[in-house]
Amino acid sequence: MSEHIVPPKIYLGVFGILMAGTTLTVIAAFKDFGAFNIVIALGIATIKATFVVLYFMHARYSPKRTHLVIICAVFWLAIMLALTLTDYQERPILGDRAAPDAAHQLPV
């Protein structure tokens, strides 16, 4: 077999990184970084996810066409998120929450 065998040492290392990331994200959540709290949380989550994909899921050792599939997934997800969010950004429903427009209120 020509497949690449990832040694347990690497798996344990990745596990360590994931644990450190989890600890860090909990610590960061209790500190006030203003608007950056969410950026930090998602940034750490993305780093963790990248390690899982590269090593646990063997993407690093996979053929190029698997890389293409993964990149497509991220790209399409980015299109969906970016275009929808820019659209919502321009709508009144995301206006001032302190005084929501009565027309947009949900029935209580």
Residues that bind another protein (CB under 8 A): 1-3, 5-8, 11-12, 14-15, 18-19, 22, 25-26, 29-33, 37-38, 41-42, 44-45, 48-49, 52-53, 55-58, 62-63, 65-66, 69-70, 72-74, 76-77, 80-81, 84-85, 88, 93-94, 97-98, 100, 105-108
CB of 59 to another protein, least distance (A): 9
Total residues belonging to the chain: 108
Shortest distance, position 106 Cβ to another protein, whole Å: 4
Residue 75 CB, shortest distance to another protein, in Å, is: 10
| Residue whose token pair is 């005084």 | 99
Integer Cα distance of 31 and 33 in angstroms: 6
Nearest distance from C-beta of residue 98 to another protein, angstroms? 6
For helices 8-29 and 36-51, give the axis angle rounded to 10 degrees. 170
CA distance 70 to 57: 11
Task: Please choose, from the candidates 80, 18, 16, the residue with its C-alpha nearest in 3D space to the C-alpha of residue 49.
Answer: 18
